[in-house]
Amino acid sequence: DAMVIQNPRYQVTQFGKPVTLSCSQTLNHNVMYWYQQKSSQAPKLLFHYYDKDFNNEADTPDNFQSRRPNTSFCFLDIRSPGLGDAAMYLCATSSDRGLGYTFGSGTRLTVV
């Protein structure tokens, strides 16, 4: 089945230690998104790629970066995680700026 896969499902990292979350898709979708969701809050868009074009949200901290080496993979890098970065990170894809996403299962990040 075509899908969006996020690894790992659970990630524990130390305060200030760089961490990378990964997302892969077999849907061949042009657009890939990263959302951050904290408990009982709305998922918040961090950035997205339309093909290789990177689009950062204005309020996304510099601590968060992303890479998309090819159509299938997208990475979220947190350079120096703080306690406030503990959250669920959701990857989603869509085709040609079409509406309606396919989400991965998410990675729950804990910062200790």
Partner 1 sequence: DQQVKQNSPSLSVQEGRISILNCDYTNSMFDYFLWYKKYPAEGPTFLISISSIKDKNEDGRFTVFLNKSAKHLSLHIVPSQPGDSAVYFCAASRTGNTGKLIFGQGTTLQVKP
Ordered DSSP codes for 13-44: E-TT--EEEEEEESS--SEEEEEEE-TTS--E
Secondary structure class of 84 (helix, strand, coil): helix
85 is written with which tokens?
A: 């970065």
Indicate which single residue of 67, 82, 98, 112 sits in contact with partner 1 (rule: CB under 8 A).
98
Q: Does 23 interact with partner 1 (rule: CB under 8 A)?
A: no
CB 76 within 8 A of CB 85: no
- Measured from the CB of residue 16, what is the shortest distance to partner 1 in angstroms? 28
Q: Does 28 interact with partner 1 (rule: CB under 8 A)?
A: no
Specify the residue, 63 or 88, whose C-beta has the smaller distance to partner 1: 88
Q: Which residues bind partner 1 (CB under 8 A)?
A: 4, 6, 9, 31, 33, 35, 40-45, 48, 50, 55, 90, 92, 94, 97-106
